[in-house]
Amino acid sequence: MDKTDNLFDISGKVVVITGAGGILCGSIAKALAQRGAKVALLDIKKEAGDSIANEINKNGGEAISIITDVLNKQSLEKAKEGILKKIGKIDVLINGAGGNKKEATTSESLSFFDLPKDAFQFVFDLNFIGTFLPCQVFGKAFAKQKKGIIINISSMASLRVLTKVAGYSAAKSAVNNFTKWLAVHMAKEYSPQIRVNAIAPGFFLTEQNKFLLMDEKTGSQAPRGKMIIEHTPMSRYGKPEDLIGSVIWLISPASEFITGIIIPIDGGFSAYGGV
Ligand code: NAD
């Protein structure tokens, strides 16, 4: 068989996904399971992870759901033990838990000078420490087996300056830097077969950003939403399915020589100068 025949084959891979009960990672989990991956869904909200796992298992896929807090190392260790006991191995980690919140976002009623430290820290910790800790816990298994793949979920806020979202931008920029750092560290210190990359989704209309993109009273597009579409050459928000091709590529043999990159999936937003 030609080496290129199985380029995009991900069947049998065990993929751990944090934040898997959410909109984007729930959709990624379902797509990977459809292609034969076994998925372990980690989420702080039990019902959210369970409901995606049930859907996958009902449709003939293989999924387990484990309530996990990505900010708690013990909880992550417990999840790792549970997965190894139930499925026997771990091949891939996708760090999807993350998000922003209103209290950490500047607005007409909340100036930069009044941003509460606790809210800023909450957002920074969830997005950055919530990526760092799972990389430590699951990365240790990868170091031991000298093989493994990590995909971090960054954001457009890390590549372009977006107004309002100071804490979220700082955290996702840290995720980008850490992605490159860890890619180098893992390849040089443990094995060139441990790869670390990130995707940077553009704008997807979800619970965490609805308050910024939609007018909460009328349900119509807010000025920020309109501006985003105007600055997206492809003239639309992303759909969760838009992320799947890149994720499959990053965990398949097709990307064997790729590590330390951040892929924008943004309909051209990051390329466009606005003129
Ligand atoms: P979402 O809110 O639908 O999903 C996030 C999930 O993370 C939720 O199920 C939540 O319960 C879980 N979670 C929260 N805190 C957790 C914790 N401490 N431990 C474990 N799980 C926890 O969000 P989404 O829009 O699907 O976003 C997924 C990822 O993509 C996030 O990292 C987000 O920052 C990033 N992202 C989103 C967009 C967008 O437009 N929606 C754009 C770029 C990047």
237 is catalytic: no
Using one digit for the tens of pLDDT, what is the confidence trace for 97-107? 999 999 999 99
Across the range 170-174, mean pLDDT stands at 98
CA distance 191 to 207: 39
Who contacts 219 (Cβ-Cβ below 8 Å, separation ≥6)?
none
Is the distance from CB of 146 to CB of 88 less than 8 angstroms?
no
Predicted local distance difference test score (pLDDT) of residue 3? 67
Q: What is the mean pLDDT of the chain?
A: 96
| Mean pLDDT, rounded, for 239-257 | 97
Residues of the chain with pLDDT > 70: what percent?
A: 99
pLDDT of residue 129: 98
Nearest CA to ligand 1 atom 23: 22
Confidence of residue 263 (pLDDT cuts 50, 70, 90): very high
* 176-232 tens-digit pLDDT: 999 999 999 999 999 999 999 999 999 998 877 888 888 888 888 899 899 999 999
CATH number of 3-202+240-265: 3.40.50.720
Strand order from edge to edge, sheet including 38-43 = 62-67, 38-43, 14-18, 92-95, 148-153, 194-201, 262-265
Confidence of residue 1 (pLDDT cuts 50, 70, 90): low
End-to-end alpha-carbon separation of the chain, Å? 49
- Please give the number of the atom of ligand 1 that sits closest to the Cα of 127: 32
Domain locations in the chain as residue ranges: 3-202+240-265, 209-237
* pLDDT > 80? residue 175: yes
Pocket test for ligand 1, best of 44, 207, 214, 262 (most atoms within 8 A of CB): 44
- pLDDT band at residue 122, thresholds of 50, 70 and 90? very high
* Ligand 1 atom nearest to 45, measured from its CA: 11
Residue among 161, 182, 146 at smallest CA distance from 262? 182
Q: Which of 76-80's residues contact partners 24+ apart within 8 Å by CB, and which partners?
A: 76/42, 76/133, 76/134, 76/137, 76/138, 77/137, 79/16, 79/40, 79/42, 80/137, 80/138, 80/141
The pLDDT score that the predictor gives to residue 88 is 97
Pocket of ligand 1 (CB under 6 A): 18-19, 21-25, 43-45, 48, 68-71, 96-99, 126, 130, 153, 155, 201, 203-204, 206-209
pLDDT of residue 60: 98
The pTM assigned to this predicted structure is 0.97
